[in-house]
Amino acid sequence: MAKFGRKGKGGTPAISTASLPDIVFMLLFFFMVTTVMREVSMKVKISPPEATEVKKLEKKSLVSYIYIGPPIKALINVYGTEPRIQLNDAYAGVEDLGEYIIAEREARDEKEVPFMTTSLKVDKETKMGIISDVKQKLRDLNALKINYSTKKGIKPQ
Amino acid sequence: MGRSKRGVDEINAGSMADIAFLLLIFFLVTTTMDVDSGIMRKLPPPIDPDMPKPPPIKQRNVFTVLVNSNDMLLVENQIGNITTLREECKDFVRNPSNNPDLSEKQDPEMLDLIGSYQTSKGVVSLQNDRGTSYDIYIRVQNELVAAYRELRDELAMQTFGRKFNELNKGQSKAVKKAIPMMISESEPRNIGGSVK
């Protein structure tokens, strides 16, 4: 009896918060590992089109990005509203693609080169002319795996 | 001596949680969680000028989709609609009644796991204008990919009782062989109505 009687005396003790920092640090490390830092500062505005047949891009380290879209608001005064190509952090022309793809290839292991994918992040208002030029150039460069970046949307009707 | 007996005062760790939270919030704000997804396609390899030209494909085996600069569709020389494109494409590839206007079938072939199957000779040819908008282009691509995906799903359902992307490697390879995704894109040209 005495054994049980002792319990409950003196109210409930305060929950120790000593392990709270550890828990939060665990969360922190989880986020640090799972997320990617924004690699480039966007100079073009992109609202991707929607599609239903999307596939996830795997192996992000093997993906090179090409951004095409109208310049962001802050740069409209200088560059106008015509869609432009952005590679890394700067505007580029179709002729710069060769250099970019070769640089991307050299940064990877030789064995991984055939698995490299080029992701085209294009604004939906863009006309196909500029995209066709890019595609043609990629074909010449033998960068054949491409991915049209889209949002996973509802069935477009 | 007296000092070491007392030991160093314990550092108050009460604010540790706050610091950690601050860091956590910083990372939450600066990083992106978005998963990149999109439609995977493969471009045709560059044309080798020394290679002999491939034999021409019969007209009935080509399902032409043209998109002009006003985002209008011309499917098999008739004005088409994006909502019916998927069914039309499926009908073209499947051709259940052997309609002479739709795609031809190859001679029955024995495929692993599936058995005798007549693969369609049909090729989808997508052509767009330089003035076509990217939005409509992606929607057309999406419909065409969806048509093939549904055809594969149907075959997978019939033979294995499961959807295509739930199949194991060998099965999905067999289905892919029975229904190859034949979408070819010709080089763009000014089909008409183009703003030059």
Mean pLDDT of A122-132: 86
Chain B residues closer than 8 Å to A120 by CB:
38
State whether residue B10 sits within 8 Å of chain A by CB. no
Between residues 125 and 164 of chain B, which touch chain A (CB distance below 8 Å)? 128-135, 137-139, 141-142, 145-146, 149
Residue B192, sorted as left (phi over 0), alpha (psi -120 to 50) or beta, turns out to be: left
What's the gap in Å between the CA of B107 and the closest CA on chain A?
A: 31
**A14-18, A76-80, A132-136, B128-132: segment of lowest average pLDDT:** A14-18
Considering only the beta carbons, identify the residue of A120, A128, A140 that sits closest to B132. Answer: A128
Mean pLDDT of B131-153: 88
**CA B63-B67-B68 angle, 5° bins:** 140
User: Can you give the pLDDT at residue B59?
Assistant: 78
User: Can you give the pLDDT at residue B194?
Assistant: 40
Place B195 in a pLDDT band, splitting at 50, 70 and 90: very low
Residues B123, B89: Cα–Cα separation, whole Å: 10
Are B73 and B65 in contact by the 8 Å Cβ rule? The answer is: yes
Place B168 in a pLDDT band, splitting at 50, 70 and 90: confident
Q: Indicate yes or no: CB of B133 within 8 angstroms of CB of A126.
A: yes
Chain B residues closer than 8 Å to A38 by CB:
30-32
The tokens of A76 are what?
């409209």
pLDDT in tens, B82-117: 888 888 888 888 887 777 777 777 777 777 777 777
Task: Decide if pLDDT at B16 tops 50.
Answer: yes
State whether residue A105 sits within 8 Å of chain B by CB. no
More confident residue, A17 or A73: A73
- Listed in sequence order, the residues at least 6 apart from A49 whose beta carbon sits closer than 8 Å to its beta carbon are A122, A124, A150, A151, B134, B135, B138, B139
Phi, psi for A99 (deg, rounded to 5): -60, -40
Chain A residues closer than 8 Å to B65 by CB:
none
Place A96 in a pLDDT band, splitting at 50, 70 and 90: confident
pLDDT in tens, A11-54: 788 877 778 878 888 888 887 777 766 667 788 888 888 888 88
Domains in chain A (CATH in brackets) are: 50-152 (3.30.420.270)
Domain residues of chain B, as ranges?
A: 59-185
Residue A92 CA, distance from chain mean position? 20
- Listed in sequence order, the residues at least 6 apart from A109 whose beta carbon sits closer than 8 Å to its beta carbon are none
pLDDT in tens, B25-59: 887 777 766 667 888 888 877 777 777 777 777 77
What's the gap in Å between the CA of A1 and the closest CA on chain B?
A: 39
State whether residue A122 sits within 8 Å of chain B by CB. yes
User: Can you give the pLDDT at residue B99?
Assistant: 76
Task: Decide if pLDDT at A156 tops 60.
Answer: no
More confident residue, A6 or B101: B101
Q: What is the mean pLDDT of chain A?
A: 81
Place B193 in a pLDDT band, splitting at 50, 70 and 90: very low
Place B187 in a pLDDT band, splitting at 50, 70 and 90: low
